Structures are given as structure tokens and as C-alpha cells.
Amino acid sequence: MKKFENSIVLITGGSGGIGAATARAFINEGAKVAIADILENEGEELASELGENARFFRLDVSIAAQWEATVAKVENTLGTISILVNNAGIAINKPILELTEEEYRKVIDINQVGVFLGMKQVLPSMLNATNGAIINISSLAGFRGTSRGSVAYSASKFALRGMTKAVALEMASKGIRVNTVHPGLIKTPLTMKDGRDEIINHLSTGIPMQRAGEASEVAKLVLFLAGDDASFSTGSEFILDGGQLAKL
Ligand code: NAD
């Protein structure tokens, strides 16, 4: 039997990058996967490529009513959600003096409020089943600022650590584990848009392992945290960054 054969997984931001790699990895381990994203064409294409155990659902994570409708649809079509991967995220990298209030709020709404809404929406079923795992995708920017102008992004990613610990403690005796994952530089559309692979190459030279990570490497850590292999881990932070945080 495959590791996640009885699991129903909802992955936000699942249409591309780390979310898509995670969807693929769960499907390979027998799970049923709901890919939830605002990118419809990419999400539908991925779902049909992954086969009958994958479905696409349009969801803007910053809107509570859409969460409510999506979770109801997923549970009607696939079954009770046992694993939630809060992965959807955006970055607006600008110095504080250039970043508008509207832009700041947009990043917080998607990266932080979206995770709050997601946890709130799936927890009732998980509590009912006394079983569940939530993985919130933060970042190295959840531990430090960056020189690229990350006031909003870092604020949102720091927040996920606190939210995760608070909810993990509430759920610790109820069979539900909640953890954060902190990727360093990973090759995805987020970091490679506008021909930015040169930036990746340049940035990678500051990484002790001298390369960017692959989305599939993040997926492996997410699957570890979602499954029984991580049965004693909750409220914790899991870093994969090629050694970056080890440096002063
Ligand atoms: P990506 O841009 O490839 O994927 C993000 C996905 O989120 C996209 O499919 C996008 O459509 C979706 N999304 C954006 N706004 C949304 C919304 N309002 N509702 C639903 N979906 C929405 O980026 P990625 O690199 O795969 O990033 C995934 C997560 O990993 C993000 O939270 C990001 O902050 C985090 N992360 C990425 C890196 C990296 O180097 N790539 C590093 C650290 C953390």
C-alpha cells in the first residue's frame, strides 16, 4: 500500500512551482489531491495530467467565502480533507519607501490571512476525525529580512511561524499536527519570472551548496511532515536552504 492512499490533500497555490511538485508527489504516493489556485488553465492542465485522483478547484485564498465553498466542494467530491498545505504566496519586493499600503495589505492578505482562513476552514473536519496535518509554507524570509526589499513578504512569513505554533498548541492533544516549512532559494516561476534565471545563478553563489533548490526537494519535506514519519513533530520549523541560515 502506498503511503498516502487514504489521504485527501488540499494544496493552495497548487497550479505551479512548489505546489505543483507537491501535488505530483502526493499523487505518486496514492493520495487524492485538490489543487486550489487562481490560475485556472495551469491548474486544470496539471489535474488532467495527474489523473483521476487529482482535481482542480478555483480558490482565491484571501477570500473567506471562497474557502468555505471550496472546502465543501472538495469534501463532496474527494472526501474529508486530512492534509492541508498552505502554499499559495506572492512576493512584492520593493523598498519600504516605494511599497504602497495597498501592496503591503495585498501580500498580508494572501500570504498570512489566507493561511488563517485555510486552517480555520479545514479544522472542523480534522477535529471530527481526530486526525490531520497542516503544513504552512513560510520562507527563509520568515527568519530574516532580505536586501531586495521584503518588508511585506518577511512580515507575512514571520507571522506564519507564530500562527503555526499557536494553532499547533491548540491542536496538540487532538491528533492534529501543524508545522512550517522554510525554503531558501527554489527554482520556480516565482523566482525565475522575467528571465530571472541569471539572478538565480548569481544568488546561488551565496548559498553554501552553490545551487538553488528544486521544487521536488520541498515536496519531499512536505510529505515527510504530512505523514506518520513525523508523528512527534508539531509547532516546529523545518528549513531547507542549502546551508544559507548556517552562515552569519
Ligand atoms: P509560484 O509563483 O510558482 O506559485 C505560487 C502559486 O500561488 C501560483 O500558482 C499562484 O497562482 C498561486 N497564488 C497566488 N495568489 C493566490 C491566491 N490569492 N489564491 C490562490 N492561489 C494564489 O511560487 P513558488 O515559488 O512555488 O511559491 C510557493 C510558496 O513557497 C510561496 O508561499 C512562496 O512564498 C514560498 N517560497 C518560495 C521560495 C522560492 O524560492 N521559490 C522560497 C521560499 C518560500
Is the predicted pLDDT of residue 205 greater than 90, yes or no?
A: no
| CB of 87 closer than 6 angstroms to any ligand 1 atom | yes
- Are residues 107 and 90 in contact, defined by beta-carbon separation less than 8 angstroms? yes
| CB of 152 closer than 6 angstroms to any ligand 1 atom | no
Cell 489535474: give the residue: 47
| CB of 110 closer than 6 angstroms to any ligand 1 atom | yes
| pLDDT tens string 83-140 | 999 999 999 999 999 999 999 999 999 999 999 999 999 999 999 999 999 999 999 9
Q: Ligand 1 atom 8: the closest Cα is on which residue?
A: 13
Using alpha carbons only, give the angle 15, 210, 239 rounded to the nearest 5 degrees: 55
| pLDDT tens string 28-50 | 999 999 999 999 999 999 999 99
Distance separating alpha carbons of residues 26 and 5, to the nearest angstrom: 9
Distance separating alpha carbons of residues 158 and 109, to the nearest angstrom: 14
Give the pLDDT band of residue 200 (cuts 50, 70, 90).
Answer: confident
In the reported structure, the alpha carbon of residue 36 is separated from the centroid of ligand 1 by a whole-number distance in angstroms of 12
In the reported structure, the alpha carbon of residue 132 is separated from the centroid of ligand 1 by a whole-number distance in angstroms of 23
Give the pLDDT band of residue 204 (cuts 50, 70, 90).
Answer: confident
Q: Ligand 1 atom 23: the closest Cα is on which residue?
A: 190
Number of the ligand 1 atom closest to the C-alpha atom of 21: 26
In the reported structure, the alpha carbon of residue 131 is separated from the centroid of ligand 1 by a whole-number distance in angstroms of 26
- Are residues 71 and 47 in contact, defined by beta-carbon separation less than 8 angstroms? no
Cell 548559498: give the residue: 207
| CB of 15 closer than 6 angstroms to any ligand 1 atom | yes
* Mean pLDDT on 67-81: 98
Q: Ligand 1 atom 29: the closest Cα is on which residue?
A: 87
Number of the ligand 1 atom closest to the C-alpha atom of 213: 40
Which of 46, 5, 242, 8 has its CA nearest to residue 132? Answer: 8
Distance separating alpha carbons of residues 46 and 117, to the nearest angstrom: 25
Ligand 1 site-directed mutation target among 87, 190, 238, most atoms within 8 Å of CB: 190
Distances 161 to 68, 142, 171, 237 between C-alpha atoms, Å: 24, 7, 15, 7
AA identity, residue 130: T
Which of 116, 117, 108, 70 has its CA nearest to residue 89? Answer: 108
In the reported structure, the alpha carbon of residue 14 is separated from the centroid of ligand 1 by a whole-number distance in angstroms of 8
Cross-strand partners of 37: 58
Using alpha carbons only, give the angle 54, 107, 124 rounded to the nearest 5 degrees: 50
Which of 164, 225, 234 has its CA nearest to residue 25? Answer: 225
Which of 146, 125, 131, 137 has its CA nearest to residue 164? Answer: 137
Which of 117, 115, 131 has its CA nearest to residue 177? Answer: 131
| CB of 18 closer than 6 angstroms to any ligand 1 atom | yes
Distance separating alpha carbons of residues 145 and 157, to the nearest angstrom: 10
Range 57-60 contact pairs with CB under 8 angstroms and sequence separation of 24 or more: 59/12
pTM above 0.85, yes or no: yes
Q: Which sequence positions are flagged as catalytic?
A: 153
| CB of 133 closer than 6 angstroms to any ligand 1 atom | no
- Are residues 34 and 57 in contact, defined by beta-carbon separation less than 8 angstroms? yes
